Amino acid sequence: MKRIDASVSRKMDIFLEEIYPESQKAGEEMAGLKFGKSQTRGFESLLTSTGRFSEILNYIKKQAGKDKKKEAWVQVAPTLLAQLEILETKAVELGNGDPSFTLQIKIKLAREWGKQVISHYLYQQMRMGE
Amino acid sequence: MDEYKTYLASDTFNLFMDQTLREFACDTVEKLCCHYSPKHYLVSTQLQSISAVITAGGMDELTKLSSKQAEKENKKNQSFWSFVSSHIMLGSQDDTSFSMAIRQKLAPFLEDESAAEDKVNRNRIKKQNKEKLKLAVEQALPIYFEHFICHYAYCAARQ
């Protein structure tokens, strides 16, 4: 399997820095909603275990589908899905027509983005509890 | 056939299932549900039965389930299952059907039946194409319906 080279890796890092403010907003939005610890842990766990980008999108949609009270996933899903769409567009651009690279870049970007979102969600929750 | 099987296992086909097929599934759901009110949506147990039958018996089982459900009296469910039934039909010539989406992706691997010199060759090509299509469909079907079901659930939740 081809590996992502250093120059693409650097471009990914720069991109992740650029989208950081947006990830923070998503984390803040989540902190203002009624998310249980197990829900965010489940999301975190999926991000690390999945090998397929679309599984992350599908997870968010499925959780929104289960959110009968419309107090958590339904509210934040549009933000998360829109941000993932931006990641996917960037992955296609950086993958430069190579399907193998594109798949790897997509999942790597999604994992790093997820870390940003969840870290900020936890930080914001801590601040709200002060 | 070996080259074809390698293609089905390749990242080119994986990317197709991850992105192109997902966009197609979402588009299909949006078109299906655009005029739905909350009461039109199927209950989640009915939706989940799709994944269960695909895991148990692939395309054959899903075809059986959708035909059986389409015959039942509940009108809400009937229209959904009739749609699924025709959407997955292997020989469908409808551009918006699942099998046509797969067929279009596989076009470089399918031989032109009309170019055959005689009936024997035509039937042979037809059989080969059908086998190739079936292999790809069986591989893509679980992922396609994962996209389909999740997007359907999301559309229902947004109501």
pLDDT at B34 over 90: no
Q: What is the pLDDT of residues B79-128, one digit of tens each?
A: 899 999 999 988 888 989 999 999 999 999 999 888 888 999 999 999 99
More confident residue, A33 or B92: A33
A61, B158: Cβ pair inside 8 Å?
no
Nearest CA in chain B to A52: B18
ipTM score of complex: 0.94
Span A1-22, mean pLDDT? 93
- Kindly state whether B121 is in contact with chain A, defined as any CB-CB distance less than 8 angstroms: no
B27 touches B150 (CB < 8 A): no
B147, A54: Cβ pair inside 8 Å?
yes
CB proximity list for A102: less than 8 A, separation 6 or greater:
A91, A92, A94, A95, B15
Nearest to A53, CA basis, from A130, A111, A7 = A111
Q: What is the pLDDT of residue B35?
A: 79
pLDDT at A130 over 70: no
- Kindly state whether A58 is in contact with chain B, defined as any CB-CB distance less than 8 angstroms: yes
**B12: chain A residues, CB-CB within 8 Å:** 99
Hey, where are the domains in chain B?
2-158
pLDDT band (50, 70, 90) for residue A28: very high
Residue showing tokens 């399907």: A99
The span from the CA of B150 to the CA of A62, in Å, is: 5
Q: What is the pLDDT of residues B52-81, one digit of tens each?
A: 999 999 999 999 999 999 888 677 788 899
Q: What is the pLDDT of residues A69-127, one digit of tens each?
A: 999 999 999 999 999 999 999 999 999 999 999 999 999 999 999 999 999 999 999 99
Q: What is the pLDDT of residue B41?
A: 87
Nearest CA in chain A to B9: A100
The span from the CA of A100 to the CA of A123, in Å, is: 35
